[in-house]
Amino acid sequence: LLDQHLVDMIALDIKTTWERYDDLLGAAAVDAVKESLAICKRAKADGSLRSCQAVVTLFRGHEDDLPPIAEATRGLDLVLQQGVTAGYDPLTRQELEAAAAPLGRRVHIRTREDGEIDYDPGR
């Protein structure tokens, strides 16, 4: 489908760091996710894919997962999504911006309160 330019956009959900992936999912999935990511990066680089988002749902207490995920997804659009689950306060937009600031790259931030915003630490 990519070779035939029949796909315009892919959103790839990256759930955690590679080291924790299989434990989190309870299945051997990390190699398949890495392969999907590599395919997306190649397709984006060669122009057969117009847009690809790496979507990270970030939960409070897991902010340190972000730098290695951001590095692994370099070359793709990065979306930080507010993780919402019972019993935990979700990160605010400002907290997501603070987590994104050290990455030194533009990201999209999605929260229930603010919808989707573009965040560029250089601005």
Tens digit of each residue's pLDDT (9 = 90 or more) over 23-57 = 988 999 999 999 999 999 999 999 999 999 999 99
The pLDDT-based confidence of 123 (bands split at 50, 70, 90) is confident
Output the pTM of the full model.
0.90
From start to end of 14-123, where are the E strands? 51-58, 77-82, 107-111, 115-119
Mean pLDDT on 2-20: 92
pLDDT of 57 reads 94
Q: Kindly report the CA angle at 94 between 83 and 111, in degrees rounded to 5?
A: 35
pLDDT of 52 reads 96
CA pair distance 44, 103, nearest whole angstrom: 21
pLDDT of 5 reads 86
